[in-house]
Amino acid sequence: MTINPVLIKSSFAIVEPHGADVAGYFYQHLFEHNPGVRSLFAEHLSDQQDRLWAALGALVTHLEDTETLVGILQDLGRRHAAYGALPEHFPAVGASLLATLAHFAGEEAWTPEVEESWTAVYGVVSGTMSEALTAAKNSAS
Ligand code: HEM
């Protein structure tokens, strides 16, 4: 599977103007399909929604700058150790993220190539974050 940065950026540009609705849709999807993870998050999600959204924008911006991207993901992964996130949560988050992007991109823009590229991006994101999270947990114990 390959990452096509042009497709990632062009599809993200369609989704981005939907702003807070995107994060709202994502959390609704995640909690509906994985009620068990709701208790890890604060009761009121509004700050959290903005931060997740900003993080996604930063990842897309630095997509071709591997060193910066990996640094951001490692920091994010280490912080997630304190949130109670586990490597096994990542597939559920990835599924909700892709469903959200597909919903807001719309049928015409969400081509098999776009989906494949986002799947590959999420593979890098979840792999790098999970490794840093596991390392942080191991060093703390
Ligand atoms: C694409 C992968 C993910 C991204 C980009 C992401 C991004 C973020 C960001 C930016 C924050 C705000 C705090 C900070 O910057 O440290 C955050 C908090 C959090 N994330 Fe994630 N996250 C991801 C995956 C996950 C997964 C797999 C879980 C596990 C269920 C998770 C659970 C949480 C929790 C519990 C918080 C704290 C929420 C609160 O304070 O209520 N995240 N995440």
Residue among 30, 56, 25, 26 nearest 118 (CA) = 56
Cα 77 from Cα 86, distance rounded (Å): 10
The CATH number given to whatever domain includes residue 31 is 1.10.490.10
Count Cβ neighbours within 10 Å for each residue of 43-54 and write b for 16 or more, e otherwise. eeeeeebeebbe
C-alpha to C-alpha distances, 137 to 18, 85, 93, nearest whole angstrom? 36, 10, 20
Cα 135 from Cα 74, distance rounded (Å): 10
Please indicate whether residue 55, judged by its CB atom, sits closer than 6 Å to ligand 1.
yes
Q: How far is the CA of 136 from the centre of ligand 1 (A)?
A: 15
Q: Which residues form the domain of 61? A: 5-35+43-140
Mean pLDDT, residues 66-74 taken together = 95
Question: What's the pLDDT score for residue 19?
Answer: 85
Please indicate whether residue 101, judged by its CB atom, sits closer than 6 Å to ligand 1.
no
105-141: pLDDT as tens digits: 999 999 999 999 999 999 999 999 999 999 998 987 6
The closest-lying atom of ligand 1 relative to the alpha carbon of residue 76 is 16
- Crossing angle of the two packed helices 46-61 and 66-82, in degrees rounded to 10: 160
Please indicate whether residue 125, judged by its CB atom, sits closer than 6 Å to ligand 1.
yes
Report whether 123 contacts 95 (CB < 8 A).
Answer: no
For the chain, how many structural domains are there in total?
1
Mean pLDDT, residues 31-35 taken together = 96
Residue among 37, 138, 42, 133 nearest 80 (CA) = 133
Q: How far is the CA of 139 from the centre of ligand 1 (A)?
A: 20
Q: How far is the CA of 100 from the centre of ligand 1 (A)?
A: 16
Atom 6 in ligand 1: which residue has the minimum CA distance? 52
